Chains A and B, each alone.
Chain A
Amino acid sequence: MNLWENNLKGLCEHLYRMMVRIRFCEESFIEPILQKQIKCPVHLCSGQEAIAAGICACLSGKDYIWGTHRSHGHYLAKGGDLNALVAEVYGKETGCSRGRGGSMHICDPEKGVVGAAPIVAGTISLAMGAALASKIRKENRVSVSFFGDGATGEGVLFESLNFAAIYNLPVLFVCENNLYSTHMPISKCRPNTEIFRIAEPFDIYSIRVDGNAVMSVYQETKKCLELLKNGKGPVFMECLTYRLRGHVGPDDNIQGKHIDIRKEAEVEAWREKDPIPNFETYLKDKEILSDSEMEGIRTEEMGRIDSAHEYAKNSPFPKPEDLERYVFK
C-alpha cells in the first residue's frame, strides 16, 4: 500500500478531487429528480464522501468493494465510470447496469466495484465470500464491505463477523454510522451506540474513526489493510458521519419541513463538520493546495458532471422487447 508514499500533494489532490466529484455528482441529481427526469429512488451520500474517498484511496484496482443503496460515492471513489453511473440513474441502456438496476444496483466489475444492493446487510456475506475466494485462490486481494448503522440490526452481520474471524478472511467491514437507520435514530436501535464494539466478541480488531476527516480515514485504513494483507483479518471499522440529505431523494428530513425527522440544530451542527470545507481549510493551512488549485479541480469536476448528464440524457432507453434479456446467462 505505497500508492501515495512520499507524495502527500498527489494524495491530497486525489482525495479532494474524489470528494468533490462525489458531492457534485450527488447534488447534480436533485434538479432532475424534482423535474421527474430521474424516477428511480436515489439515496444521496452528500456529507459522507470522506469515507469512500479515504478508504478507496488505499485500495488497488484488483481489490473488491461491495455497497448498499447509498453507494454512488463508493462506486466513484473506486474508479467506477461516471457517465455509466449517471446514465444508470436515468434508467438508460448505457448505464452501468444497462438500466436494469438503477441507483441501488450499480457496478463496475472491471474496476472492482463488484456490486451494490439495498437489502440491508445483504452484501456483507457476499463481500466475505469474495474474500474467501481471494484466500482460496491465494490472490491477496482485499474485499471491503460497506454498510450502514442500520445493518447492525441484521443477524447476518454477526454470522459474517464470526465466519470471517474463524477463517481469517481478508475482509474490511466498514460501518458508515450516519446516526439514522432511515427515520430511526441509532440510540433507539441499539442499547449501546458504540458500534465498533460489536466486533470485539469475535476477536476482531475494531476501531472507530472520524468519518468526516478524510486524512484520518485514509491513515486508519492503511493500518487496517496492513493487518489484512498479513493474514490478520478481518478488521472492523466504524466511521462516524452524517448525511446532509435525507434517507432518500433531495429532502433533508429536517423537522418542520416536508418529512419531520431531524432537528434543525443537529443538521446545522453537522454542516459545520462537512468533510469538504474542512479538508479545504486543512489543505490551505498546511499549504498543500492553493485556493486556485482547488478551484481548478472543482471546475474540472463540474465539467465532468455536466457532460455525464448530457451523455445520459442523449443515451437511449432499454428496448421494451429486451425485457427478458439477462435473466440467465
Chain B
Amino acid sequence: MYSNNRKIKYCKAVNEAFHQILKLDESVFLIGQGVTSPWYVGNTTSDLIDSFGTERIIDTPVSENAVTGAAVGAAIVGMKPIVVHPRLDFMAYAMDPIINEASNWMYMSGGRTNVPMVIWGIINRGGEQAAQHSQSWHSLFAHIPGIKVVMPSNPYDAKGLMISAIDDPNPVLYIDDRWLYGIEGIVPEKIYKVPIGVGDIAQEGTDVTIVACSYQVRLAIKAAFELRKSGIEAEIIDLRTIKPLDENLIINSVLKTGRMAIIDGGWKSYGIAAEISALVFEKAFGKMKTPIIRVTLPDVPAPASSVLENSYYIKVSTITSAIEKLVD
C-alpha cells in the first residue's frame, strides 16, 4: 500500500496535500486568515505563498462571514476553494454561508449547481484557552443536510482526506485537531485519496467496540493497550468521516462484540455519540449484551484553569475504567 516508509508529521502531511493539489489543479485556491503566516495555522501552509502567489494563497482580514461567502460564491462558479478557519470557534460568524448557502445550494437549484469547496476548521484547545478558544462543533455541522464532515486521526488520513475533500463536488467540512499536528506517521509521497464516508478498523478485537474519530482515536488506542492487560480485546473503529457515517462498519463490529463505547471530543447531548447510539439501537437492537457507553465532554463550556481543564478533557483512564465495568 505504501510506496515507502517515509514518516512525516500530521501538519506536514496536510501541507503536502496542498502543494500537490494546487500544482495539479488551477481551480484550487486557499483563502483565510493566516495562510501566509509562518505560525498561524501551524506548518500546514508553509511555502505555499512562494509556490503559488497571492492570487491563490489569499490571506484575509478578520471577516469570517464574507470570506467564507466569497469561497462559496467562487465554488458555485466553478473554482475549488479551501477556506480555512484557524479556530473553529470563530466559524460561528460564517454559519450563514455554510448552512444556508453552501449546504442548500445544490438542492435549491434542483441539482443545477453544485458547490465544490472545502471548509477547513481547526480545533485548537487546551492551555487554559477557555470557552471561546477550545470548541469542537463537528456534531453541529453533521446535523445539516448537504454538507459532508471529515475528521482525520493520523497523518496518512490527513493527507488522503484533504485530497478527497478538495476533489469532492460537494461542500466538505474538514475538521482537524491541533493536538494531532505534531504526530508522526507513514505518508506516501504520491497523491492518494482516503474515501469520504468510509471508516477504518484501527485495531481488531472481540470484546467491545470503541468508536472514535480525530484525536480521540489516539486515546482509544492507548485505552485498548491498557485493556489488554486486563484481558479485554477492544476493536477500534476510526470513523474518519462523521457525515455520511459508515453505518455498516459500526453495525458489523457491534454484532461481533455486543458492546460499544463511543468516545467523542464534543459535548454529550445531541452529539455523534447520541447519533451512533440511536443507530445501534435501530439496527442491532437485541444483539447488545450491555448498555452503550458515551465518553464525551460534559455539557459544560471549556474552562480556563488547568485544574478544571484536567477534569474536563477525556483521559485514557476514564475510557478504560468505563469499559472495564462494562465487560466485567
Contact = CB atoms under 8 A, between A and B. Distances in A.
Contacts of A135: 55
Contact of B73 (A100, A128, A137, A162): A128
Contacts of A156: 65-66, 69, 96
Contacts of A125: 65-70, 72-73, 97
Contact of B105 (A95, A115, A134): A115
A109 B112 CA distance: 8
A104 B135 CA distance: 35
Interface of B: 29, 55-56, 58, 60-61, 63, 65-79, 81, 96-97, 100-101, 105-114, 145-146, 148, 169-170
B111 A126 contact: no
B111 A98 contact: yes
Contact of B69 (A64, A107, A160): A160
B76 A126 contact: yes
Nearest to B114: A329
Q: Which of A96, A100, A325 has the most CB of B within 10 A?
A: A100
A210 to B, nearest CB: 29
A105 B108 CA distance: 6
A89 interface: no
A129 B61 CA distance: 15
Chain A facing B: main interface SS: mixed
Contacts of B79: 133, 136-137
A143 B79 CA distance: 15
Given A105-B108, A329-B106, A329-B170, A128 B65 contact: no
Interface in A74-92: none
B66 A128 contact: yes
A130 interface: yes
Contact of A97 (B58, B110, B114, B170): B110
Given A124-B69, A126-B69, A130-B77, A163 B109 contact: no
Contacts of A126: 69-70, 72-73, 76, 97, 101
Nearest to B55: A136
B74 A132 contact: yes
Given A101-B108, A117-B100, A122-B100, A129 B145 contact: no
Interface residues of A, number: 45
A231 to B, nearest CB: 14
Contact of A136 (B29, B66, B108): B29
A99 interface: yes
A329 B107 CA distance: 9
Nearest to B71: A129
A97 B109 contact: yes
B153 to A, nearest CB: 24
Nearest to B171: A328
A194 interface: no
A143 B76 CA distance: 13
Interface in A109-132: 109, 114-115, 117, 119, 122-130, 132
Contacts of A129: 69-77, 81
Given A130-B74, A327-B106, A166 B146 contact: no
A159 B63 contact: yes
B161 to A, nearest CB: 17
Given A122-B101, A126-B76, A156-B96, A105 B109 contact: yes
B28 to A, nearest CB: 10
A256 interface: no
Contacts of A143: 73
Contacts of A66: 73
B157 to A, nearest CB: 21
20 contacts: A95-B110, A98-B110, A99-B110, A114-B113, A115-B76, A117-B101, A125-B72, A125-B73, A128-B66, A129-B73, A130-B73, A130-B76, A133-B78, A136-B74, A143-B73, A162-B61, A163-B67, A326-B106, A327-B106, A328-B146
B98 to A, nearest CB: 12
Contacts of B74: 129-130, 132-133, 136
A119 B76 contact: no
Contacts of B73: 66, 114, 123, 125-130, 132-133, 143
Nearest to B99: A119
Contacts of B169: 328-329
A305 B169 CA distance: 36
A68 to B, nearest CB: 13
Interface string A58-81: 000000101000000000000000
Contact of B63 (A127, A133, A137, A163): A163
A326 B71 CA distance: 21
Contacts of A109: 109, 112-113
Contacts of B101: 117, 119, 122-123, 126
Contacts of A327: 106-107, 145-146
Given A105-B109, A109-B109, A132-B58, 6 more contacts: A99-B110, A128-B69, A129-B75, A136-B29, A136-B79, A327-B145
Nearest to A139: B77
Interface in A139-165: 143, 155-156, 159-160, 162-163
